[in-house]
Amino acid sequence: MATSINHAGQWTKIPVTTNPTNIFNKWTAFTQSQTDNKTLWFLLSLVFQGVFFLPLPALLVYYYNAPALIVVITLALFFANIIAGMGGASIKTLLKLFAASVLIHVLMAIICIL
């Protein structure tokens, strides 16, 4: 008579491998969870950049005498987001590009104002 107590696989040790919790693994998990919301992130990045970042070069150049290179950087980042979103880039690329553009614009504003 066979019982479940005699099951050989019950007592074998399987090494447990866990991914260390770091910022890269959290970012990867977040981007994979947002795959269904790709269009939302594309539109959010366009609206956010259109409202906050496209007027920023005019403000910085006019009031703080910033170089005109800021206009080129802003337009390059804006059109890169448009091309990536409409060209079918992955969600990981869209989110990285959006985060990079936010970071670059914030740094440009801080550098020009100070």
Domain range annotation of the chain? 52-114
Report the predicted TM-score, pTM, of the whole model to 2 decimal places: 0.77
pLDDT 10s digits, 54-72: 999 999 999 999 999 999 9
The contacts of residue 59 (CB under 8 Å, 6+ apart) are: none
pLDDT 10s digits, 40-57: 999 999 999 999 999 999
